[in-house]
Amino acid sequence: MITVNIRKQGGAAVMTIPASVLKMLNVEAGAQLEIDVVQGAFTAKPVTKHLRKRYSLHELLRGVTPEQMVILNEQIEWAREGEPMGRECL
């Protein structure tokens, strides 16, 4: 068991986590931890970020028929008219 101290820093209480514990958790300074309090004790575990999948244009248009593309192009024709209003690239 590892013992740590809690100190006051500004309006917060700060607990220093030893490097050995960070290594066991496979986290670095700046990482987010999820804290759960149960029966007077807390546990901390790293927050796992769920990265969103990035799709290519080909993947997004998979399954779209040529007929559907004609309809889509008709529906967005208004956006192709006129000159650019800002710094958009056409």
Averaged pLDDT score across all residues of the chain: 89
Q: What is the reported pTM? A: 0.47
CATH code of the domain in which 37 resides: 2.10.260.10
Say how many domains are in the chain.
1
In a domain, 1, yes or no: no
Distance CA 53, CA 36 (A): 29
Each residue's pLDDT tens digit, 2-44: 899 999 999 999 999 999 999 998 899 989 999 999 999 999 9
In this structure, are strands 12-15 and 33-38 parallel, antiparallel, or unpaired? unpaired
Q: Does residue 33 belong to any structural domain of this protein?
A: yes
User: Which domain, by its residues, includes 26?
Assistant: 6-46
